[in-house]
């Protein structure tokens, strides 16, 4: 009896943005998926997102986080790709019903890094801090109201080049991205207890079509439970606050046994006002983030509340 030919590996097409950091994240996703399923072949399919094309205006003026996801969403829904990989902090809180976050990879360091000075206190009077992120801008102005925020957008290399060119005196980057690019030596990490991270920061999400049960089953093998629990609580907090890309919100999540501890802050865009709250709740308590959101909004004044639109008012 003739030998059967070897089975052809199943091919999965993994869509990603084309920036160096996005490609590094796509390679990590592919490596983890292939290690869990050696029978798979995963092809990385890069796309240039709208957010990577337009760098001269703040993201919030251009349609928000959808600028990072809309091209990959279209490719995923049309079947041109089977999976899409994202930095989770760049993924809108409300997603199309046809798309599901099927895996969260082990979360990287959540801290921000200050580049251009040893600390915020070391910046000269009136220094220019380059960022287009409302959270970073508000936190910086809260701690250093004498400083001025100037808009800087682009990938890590672009922002560092703009800093080198003198467009700002300092800038802020995610340590997770620097680590993934082998650039951890840049800048000084900021204390996350006072300089709270962005919701979802440091987490890589892999999305699939909701109806594609076979692919979702494959991705379940690389879904990191503790990371998923933390970031989904943060996204639930965002949803309960009605936050958008204009809303300065920061949150630090820690696991405490079988519970989650969330320390969150809301700020006015100019940094003049800040409210903080902390909550600890069981992993199974799906209403915990909403209670924390209600507590924060109850403490907040009009300058903060104007930038949030919680469900039901």
Q: Is 139:272 a contact under the CB 8 Å cutoff?
A: no
In this structure, what token pair is assigned to residue 50?
């709208």
**Strand 10-17 with 40-47, pairing:** parallel
Contacts of 71 (CB under 8 A, 6+ apart): 47, 48, 49, 50
Residue pointed to by tokens 């049960």: 213
Say which DSSP state 25 is in.
Answer: H
Please give the torsion angle defined by the CA atoms of residues 250, 255, 261 and 262, in that order, rounded to the nearest 10 degrees. Answer: 10
How far are the Cα atoms of 33, 52, 54, 204 from residue 166, in angstroms, in the given order?
A: 42, 22, 21, 32
**Residues forming the active site:** 90
In this structure, what token pair is assigned to residue 215?
């692919």
């Amino acid at each position: 009896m003739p030998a059967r030919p070897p089975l052809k590996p199943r091919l999965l097409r993994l869509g990603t943005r084309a920036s160096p950091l996005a490609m590094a994240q796509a390679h990590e996703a592919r490596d983890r998926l292939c290690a869990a399923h050696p029978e798979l072949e995963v092809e990385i399919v890069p796309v240039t997102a709208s957010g990577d094309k337009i760098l001269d205006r703040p993201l919030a003026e251009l349609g928000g986080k959808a600028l990072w996801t809309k091209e990959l969403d279209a490719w995923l829904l049309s079947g041109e790709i089977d999976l899409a990989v994202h930095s989770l902090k760049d993924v809108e809180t409300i997603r199309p019903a046809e798309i599901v976050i099927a895996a969260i990879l082990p979360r990287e360091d959540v801290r921000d890094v200050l580049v251009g000075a040893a600390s915020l206190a070391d910046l000269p009077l009136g220094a220019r801090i380059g960022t287009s992120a409302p959270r970073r801008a508000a936190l910086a102005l809260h701690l250093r109201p004498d400083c001025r925020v100037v808009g800087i957008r682009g990938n890590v290399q672009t922002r560092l080049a703009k800093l080198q060119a003198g467009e700002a005196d300092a800038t802020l980057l995610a340590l997770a991205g620097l680590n993934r690019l082998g650039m951890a030596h840049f800048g000084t990490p900021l204390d996350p207890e006072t300089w709270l991270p962005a919701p979802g920061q440091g987490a890589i999400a892999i999305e699939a079509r909701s109806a594609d049960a076979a692919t979702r089953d494959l991705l379940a093998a690389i879904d990191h439970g503790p990371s998923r629990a933390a970031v989904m609580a943060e996204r639930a907090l965002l949803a309960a606050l009605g936050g958008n890309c204009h809303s300065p919100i920061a949150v630090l999540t820690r696991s405490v046994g079988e519970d989650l501890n969330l320390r969150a802050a809301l700020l006015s865009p100019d940094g003049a006002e800040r409210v903080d709250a902390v909550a600890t709740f069981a992993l199974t308590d799906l209403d915990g983030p909403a209670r924390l959101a209600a507590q924060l909004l109850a403490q907040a004044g009009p300058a903060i509340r104007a930038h949030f639109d919680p469900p039901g008012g």
